[in-house]
Amino acid sequence: MKNYKTIAIIGTQWGDEGKGKVVHYLSRNADYIVRYQGGNNAGHTVVFDNKEYILHLIPSGILEHKKCVIANGVVIDPEALYNEIQFLKSKGFNVTKENLFISDRAHVILPYHKYLDVVREKTQKIGTTQRGIGPCYADKYSRSGIRISDYLEEGTF
C-alpha cells in the first residue's frame, strides 16, 4: 500500500461496515488521515497496543502519531470534540495543533440542533441518536449554519 498517494475508505452500507478498523490499519503507512464527513453520532472502535479505544470525531490515526484532519464535511459538537481530546490526552496521546487539523469550514453543532433532534424524534421516530447531526446538516445545506470560521472572526458574535 505504500505506493499509493491517496486511499479513500468510503462506507456504502449506512455505517457499521468496519471503516474505522480499515482506516486504523492503513493509517500505519499514511502521512495524513482525513475524516471527511459525519459527526459524533457513531464511534469507531480500534485496538492499539492491546487496548481498546472508541473514537467519535478524531481519526484513529492519532493513535499512530499521524497527522489527522477533520475536514469541512464533518459537523462538530465542540463539547464532544473537547471531551475526546481530553480522553486521548489522559491516555498519554499527544493531541496538538501540529497533529490535529480542523477545517474552518466545518459546521458546528449547537444546542438548538440537539433540541430539534429530540423534539423531532418524539413526533416522528427515525432512530436518530439525538446529537443534532441532522439539524446541523440541514442548516449547512440551507447555508444558514455556523462554521468554525465564524468563531475565529472577531466581532462575529
Between the two ends of the chain, the Cα-to-Cα distance in Å is 46
Quote the cell numbers at residue 122.
418524539
Query: In whole angstroms, what is the distance from residue 151 CA to residue 71 CA?
Result: 16
Quote the cell numbers at residue 10.
468510503
Binned at pLDDT 50, 70 and 90, residue 2 comes out as low
| Tens digit of each residue's pLDDT (9 = 90 or more) over 82-132 | 999 999 999 999 999 999 999 999 999 999 999 999 999 899 988 888 999
Binned at pLDDT 50, 70 and 90, residue 25 comes out as confident
Judge whether 139 and 145 are in contact, CB under 8 Å: yes
Query: Which domains are delineated in the chain?
Result: 19-152 (3.40.440.10)
Catalytic site includes residue 16: yes
Catalytic site includes residue 44: yes
Mean pLDDT of the chain: 90
Determine phi and psi for 136, rounding to 5 degrees. Answer: -65, -45
* Residue in the structure block whose three cell numbers are 480522553: 87
Judge whether 131 and 117 are in contact, CB under 8 Å: yes
Single out the catalytic residue among 24, 44, 56, 113: 44
